[in-house]
């Protein structure tokens, strides 16, 4: 939700909050599970990057219905 909201409305607050939580969690996981956590960061980058690119393509459709962005923000 954070990447979609960030791309569509330019509001990065949800994305920043999620990034901070992911960073703290990854440090905790890395202390117990090792270097594999670093490798999972690449898959997250690809996954969230593809969602952001998809949101760029559907942006004209979403802007046509003004209630969509507040609904997406509410879910996030």
Other beta carbons within 10 Å of 2: 21
DSSP H stretches of helix in the chain: 2-9, 13-33, 36-64, 68-75
Query: Residue 60 has what pLDDT?
Result: 81
Residue ranges making up the domain that contains 19: 2-75
Instruction: Give CA separation, 12 vs 33, 35, 39, in Å.
Output: 30, 29, 25
Instruction: Give CA separation, 70 vs 31, 63, 67, in Å.
Output: 38, 11, 6
Query: Residue 24 has what pLDDT?
Result: 92
| Number of domains present in the structure of the chain | 1
Query: Residue 1 has what pLDDT?
Result: 73
> What is the pLDDT confidence band of residue 4, given thresholds at 50, 70 and 90?
confident
Q: Which residues fall within 8 angstroms of residue 9, CB to CB, at 6 or more apart? A: 69, 73
């Amino acid at each position: 939700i954070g990447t979609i909201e960030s791309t569509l409305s330019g509001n990065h607050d949800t994305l920043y909050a999620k990034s901070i939580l992911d960073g703290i969690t990854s440090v905790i996981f890395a202390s117990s599970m090792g270097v594999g956590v670093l490798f999972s960061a690449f898959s997250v980058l690809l996954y969230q990057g593809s969602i952001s690119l998809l949101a760029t393509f559907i942006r004209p459709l979403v802007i046509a219905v003004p209630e969509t962005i507040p609904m997406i923000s509410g879910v996030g």
